[in-house]
């Protein structure tokens, strides 16, 4: 038995020169096998579902659009835009909502001929007995052309309190500038 010196014990182990090519070949074979397996697990073009027939018919209908169809669509869009409130009219209406509401946040996006606003409103006094006013407010907002109520959030107060801790409405409004 050979006794190793401290330098020999600290030296990194190395592969014999004859084993290095075989080890490289084995690593390459394992890598190639993994690549073949991975490529086989990915969906190919044959696994993509066919196009929706209804959507395909609609696309073909758009391609065949005539000037008459385009003018009919333009008249429908202009009629819908004419029914929208003006920006000043809606600002006045938002201040007269039932039950007293405060605007928490407002943002707007403008396009030629159309302004889109996003509101977050909070009830000033969110009492349980104010529920009919909250319902009337949501109904009045829904009756406005171009208004979409995105959410109504009600959180109840402590047990037996008879109040909401919070009542909020978020809405999207489309207006004529």
Is residue 141 a part of any domain in this protein?
yes
Residue 9: predicted pLDDT: 60
Cβ atoms of residues 162 and 132 within 8 Å:
no
CA atoms within 13 A on the CB side of 18: 0
What's the CATH code of the domain at 109?
3.30.70.60
E strand or H helix at 106, and its extent? strand 101-111
- The tokens for 169 are 């409405």
Residue 6: predicted pLDDT: 66
Is residue 171 a part of any domain in this protein?
yes
- The tokens for 154 are 């009600």
Is residue 64 a part of any domain in this protein?
no
Round to the nearest angstrom and report the end-to-end CA distance of the chain: 97
Is residue 128 a part of any domain in this protein?
yes
Is residue 164 a part of any domain in this protein?
yes
Predicted confidence (pLDDT) per residue in 12-34, tens digit: 666 666 777 777 888 888 888 88
What one-character-per-residue DSSP string does 128-151 give? GGGHHHHHHHHHHHHHSTTEEEEE
Is residue 129 a part of any domain in this protein?
yes
Measure Cα distances from 122 to 23, 108, 117, 119, 128 in Å: 71, 18, 16, 10, 14
Q: How confident is the model at residue 40 (pLDDT cuts 50, 70, 90)?
A: low
Residue 18: predicted pLDDT: 73
Greatest mean pLDDT range, 41-45, 93-97, 116-120, 139-143 = 116-120
Is residue 69 a part of any domain in this protein?
no
Is residue 124 a part of any domain in this protein?
yes
Provide the residue range defining the domain that includes 145.
101-175
- The tokens for 34 are 């993994």
How many structural domains is the chain composed of?
Answer: 1
Q: Would the pLDDT of 152 be above 60?
A: yes
């Amino acid at each position: 038995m050979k006794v190793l010196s401290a330098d020999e014990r600290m030296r990194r182990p190395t592969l014999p020169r004859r084993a290095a090519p075989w080890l490289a070949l084995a690593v390459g074979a394992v890598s190639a096998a993994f690549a073949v397996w991975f490529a086989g697990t990915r969906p190919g073009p044959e696994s993509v579902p066919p196009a929706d027939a209804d959507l395909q018919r609609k696309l073909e209908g758009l391609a065949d659009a005539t000037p008459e169809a385009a003018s009919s669509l333009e008249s429908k869009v202009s009629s819908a835009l004419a029914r929208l409130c003006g920006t000043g009219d809606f600002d006045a209406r938002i201040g007269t909502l039932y039950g007293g509401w405060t605007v928490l946040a407002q943002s707007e996006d403008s396009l030629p001929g159309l302004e889109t606003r996003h509101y977050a409103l909070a009830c000033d006094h969110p009492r349980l007995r104010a529920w009919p006013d909250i319902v009337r407010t949501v109904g009045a907002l829904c009756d406005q052309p171009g208004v979409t109520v995105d959410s109504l959030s009600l959180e109840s107060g402590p047990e037996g309190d008879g109040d909401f801790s919070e009542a909020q409405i978020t809405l999207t409004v489309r207006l004529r500038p």
